[in-house]
Amino acid sequence: MSAVVADMPKSDMSKPVAPATTKAIAPSKGGRPWTFYVLSALFSLYVIALYGPMFCIYILSFQDIRGGLVFPMKGHSLHWFVDLFTQVRTGDVKGSFDRSIKLAVIVTLITVVVSFLAGLGFRKRFRGDTFVFYMMIGSLVAPGLVLGLGTGLLFQALGLNASWYTSALGAQLSWTLPFGVLVMFAVMSRFDLVWEEAAYDLGASRWQSIRLVMIPVLAPGLVAVALFGFTLSYDEFARSLQTAGSLNTLPLEIWSMTLNVTSPSLYALGTVTTIVSFIVIGASLGSIVLIQKKRGSSAKG
C-alpha cells in the first residue's frame, strides 16, 4: 500500500499515454509461453487465498433470521446488521467502535508528527545515526503479545490503571511509530535537500521552509504515513489485549464475541468494520488525488 501511495506524486497525470499500436519486438506467433499459465494460476490462487475468506464473511453476514455460522447461505436480508446495533447481548459494539476510532485518530496524529520530525532529523547524517535508527525500529521485532504484556505489567508496577487511551495508546505507538518512520524515510528519500537550501537562499526562515516547501512537497507521503498509522491501530489486537484495561477496543470486542456470540451478527460486524476501513483508505487516496489535482489545476498547461 505504501508503495502505491508514495508513487502517486511521481506519476504525471497530464502525460499522454502512448497508443498501444507499436508491436513488441518478440514474435508472438506461438502465443504465450507455458510459464505464463503456471504463474497466472499461482497468482489466481494467491488472490483467492487473500480475499476468499473475507468474502465468506461478507456473504454470510447478509443472511436472514434463520442464518447460521456456516454455509450454505440461508436467505438474504440485513437482519444481522440491525441485530448488531440493537441487541445488547452482542456486546458493546458501538462503544468499542468509538474507542477504536478515537484511539486510531490519536495514534495517527502522533505517528505523523513524530515520523515527520524523525524524517527531518535524519535528513543529514550524524554521529550514531545508525544506532538511533535501529533503536527506533527495533521494537518491531518484539512479539506484540509479549510487548503488550510487558506494558500492562509496567503500568501495574507503577500503580497506573491500564486503559485504552494510556497503556494501549503506548503499546500501539510502539508498533505504528517504527512503521511510520520507515515509510517516512522512504518518502524523504524523494525530497531533495537542495529545495530547502534554495528556500533559505531566497530568504525563507526555517519554519517557512518547512511550511511552504517541505510539508507541501511531502504531503502525499504524510498521508501515506497517516494511513499506516490509522489502519495499524484500528486493527491492532496483540498489543492491546493486555493494555486496554476494562474497556475493549473493536478488535478485542470482536475477539470476545467469537467466544460467546454464535450468530451471523459477528459477520455483520466484520462487514461494517471493513467498510469503515475502505472509507478511511478511500479518503486517504482521495486526498492525495486532491493534492495532485490542486497542483494540476493551478498548472493549466
Partner 1 sequence: MKSDHGDIELAGVCKSFDGITNVVDGVNLKIADGAYCCFIGPSGCGKTTILRMIAGHEDPTAGEIVIGGQNVVGLAPVQRRTAMMFQSYALFPHLTVRENIAFALRVRGQSKADRLRAADAMIEKVRLTQFADRLPAQLSGGQQQRVALARAAITEPRVLLLDEPLSALDEKLRVQMRQELRRMQQELGITFIHVTHTQLEAIALADLVVVMEQGRIKQAGAARDVYAHPHDRYVAEFMGGQNVLSGRVEKVNGTSFTLAQAAPAGIEVPLQARSTVSVGDTVDIAVRRDDVALVRPGRELPPGCSNSLPSRVLAIEYQGYFVKVMLDTVPDDEFVAYVPEKTFFADPFTVGDVVMATWATGSALPLAHESRRAQGV
Chain positions contacting partner 1, by CB under 8 A:
12, 14, 192, 194-195, 197-205, 208, 212-213, 216-217, 295, 298-301
Residue type, 143: P
User: Cβ of 72: how many Cβ atoms within 10 Å?
Assistant: 7
- Minimum CB separation of residue 225 from partner 1 in Å reads 18
Sequence-distant (≥ 6) Cβ neighbours of residue 165 within 8 angstroms: 102, 103, 106
Rounded to a whole number of angstroms, the minimum distance from the CB of residue 195 to partner 1 is 6
CB of 187 to partner 1, least distance (A): 14
> Considering beta carbons, is residue 212 or 275 the nearer one to partner 1?
212
**In terms of CB distance, is 57 or 210 closer to partner 1?**
210
Q: Which is nearer to partner 1, 10 or 29 (CB)?
A: 10
Closer by beta carbon to partner 1, 256 or else 287:
287
Residue type, 213: V
Sign of CA dihedral 58, 84, 238, 182: positive
Taking the least distance from each CB to partner 1, the nearer of 159 and 301 is 301
Q: How far is the CB of 208 from partner 1 (least distance, A)?
A: 5
| CB-based contacts of 273, cutoff 8 Å, min separation 6 | 97, 250, 254
Nearer to partner 1, 12 or 34 (CB): 12
Which residue do the cell numbers 503479545 mark?
145
Report the residue number, 122 or 200, with the smaller CB distance to partner 1.
Answer: 200
CB of 189 to partner 1, least distance (A): 15
- Take residue 100 and report the three cell numbers written for it: 477504536
User: What is the nearest approach in angstroms of partner 1 to the Cβ of residue 43?
Assistant: 34
Q: Closest distance between partner 1 and the C-beta of residue 188, in Å?
A: 14
Alpha-carbon separation of residue 126 from 121, 131, 133, 134, 254 (angstroms): 9, 10, 11, 14, 46
116 or 179: whose CB is closer to partner 1?
116
79-281-277 Cα angle (round to 5) = 30
